[in-house]
């Protein structure tokens, strides 16, 4: 019998767990249901074995971290994006206290300058829809921040990641004085519209429990853009 190290056992366990979870999705992508034959099951498992995600060495730690985070329900239910959102809220509170929230937003846009420059070149060639894609579902920081993103032609919508956490921070930490409306008007709206301006697209922002960011134009290739 082949010796299996603890790490190998963990990797194989995680691999088969993901295989079981992903079978319906993979089967659906493969075509109309025709029964799960041994050949189809083997083919899907082979795909998973060669999948870069399923073969990450830190996947077991990631799953453990996810479980431990969502298992923490006191004094409130914790979520995977809490460290990111709480740090953003702390920073915004500091800048509001010092009357420098505009400088904070400008700093966020400036420090992302090299990346935004690359995205702008894509937008100039392919249109504003690429701007939305690279602001939201196309970048890892966004799907770490938002629980899910609804992708529609010319717009993106998602549940606000700050409202519930800010309420919990104000209730339990007692060190936050800003309101949820401050987050909408002093961080999210100017940040997204400012990024849009940097990319050469005009965006409208509708904040709320579900936020919507949309192109003010139809997202076609800008005039003068490359064909």
Q: Mind listing the pLDDT tens digit for each residue in 179-210?
A: 999 999 999 999 999 999 999 999 999 999 99
pLDDT at 27: 47
The pTM score is 0.75
Q: Give yes or no: residues 88 and 15 share one domain.
A: no
Per the structure, how many domains does the chain have? 2
> Which helix or strand (DSSP H or E) is residue 57 part of?
none
Tell me what the pLDDT averaged over the chain comes to.
84
Name the nearest CA neighbour of 79 among 164, 190, 172.
164
Percent of the chain, pLDDT > 90? 64
pLDDT at 4: 47
Q: Are 208 and 128 in contact (CB under 8 A)?
A: no
Orientation angle between helical segments 38-49 and 6-30, nearest 10 degrees: 120
pLDDT at 8: 54
Question: Cα angle vertex 116, ends 111, 117, to 5°?
Answer: 110
Q: Give yes or no: residues 56 and 106 share one domain.
A: no
Q: Give yes or no: residues 66 and 109 share one domain.
A: no
Cα torsion through 178, 215, 155, 226, rounded to 10: -130
The boundaries of the domain holding residue 57 are 6-71
With bands split at pLDDT 50, 70 and 90, how would you rate the model's confidence at 226?
A: very low
With bands split at pLDDT 50, 70 and 90, how would you rate the model's confidence at 217?
A: low
Q: Residues 6 or more apart from 227 whose CB is under 8 A from it? A: 221
225: helix, coil or strand? coil
Q: Give yes or no: residues 102 and 208 share one domain.
A: yes
pLDDT at 1: 41
Domain's final residue, options 24, 40, 71: 71
Q: Is residue 225 part of a domain?
A: no
Q: Give yes or no: residues 89 and 185 share one domain.
A: yes
Q: Is residue 77 part of a domain?
A: no
Q: Give yes or no: residues 107 and 189 share one domain.
A: yes
Strand partners, 159: 210
Q: Are 183 and 89 in contact (CB under 8 A)?
A: yes
CA distances from 197 to 123, 141, 169, 171, 216 (A): 12, 20, 32, 36, 12
Q: Give yes or no: residues 104 and 17 share one domain.
A: no
What is residue 127's DSSP assignment?
-
- Is the pLDDT reported for residue 13 higher than 60? no
Domain's final residue, options 71, 93, 119: 71
């Amino acid at each position: 019998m082949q010796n299996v190290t603890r790490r190998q056992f963990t990797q194989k366990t995680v691999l088969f767990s993901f295989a079981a979870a992903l079978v319906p999705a993979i089967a659906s992508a493969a075509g109309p249901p025709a029964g799960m034959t041994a050949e189809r099951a083997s083919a899907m498992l082979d795909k998973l074995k060669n999948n870069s995600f399923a073969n990450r060495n830190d996947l077991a730690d990631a799953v453990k971290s996810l479980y431990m985070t969502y298992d923490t329900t006191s004094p409130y239910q914790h979520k995977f994006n809490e460290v990111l959102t709480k740090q953003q809220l702390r920073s915004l509170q500091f800048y509001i206290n010092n009357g420098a929230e505009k400088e904070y937003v400008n700093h966020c846009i400036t420090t992302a300058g090299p990346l935004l420059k690359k995205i702008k070149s894509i937008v100039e060639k392919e249109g504003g829809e690429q701007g939305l894609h690279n602001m939201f579902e196309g970048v890892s920081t966004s799907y770490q921040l938002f629980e899910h993103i609804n992708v529609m032609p010319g717009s993106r919508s998602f549940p606000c990641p700050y409202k519930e956490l800010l309420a919990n921070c104000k209730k339990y930490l007692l060190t936050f004085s800003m309101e949820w409306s401050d987050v909408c008007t002093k961080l999210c709206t100017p940040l997204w519209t400012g990024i849009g301006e940097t990319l050469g697209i005009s965006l409208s922002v509708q904040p709320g429990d579900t936020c919507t960011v949309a192109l003010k134009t139809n997202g076609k290739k800008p005039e003068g853009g490359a064909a």
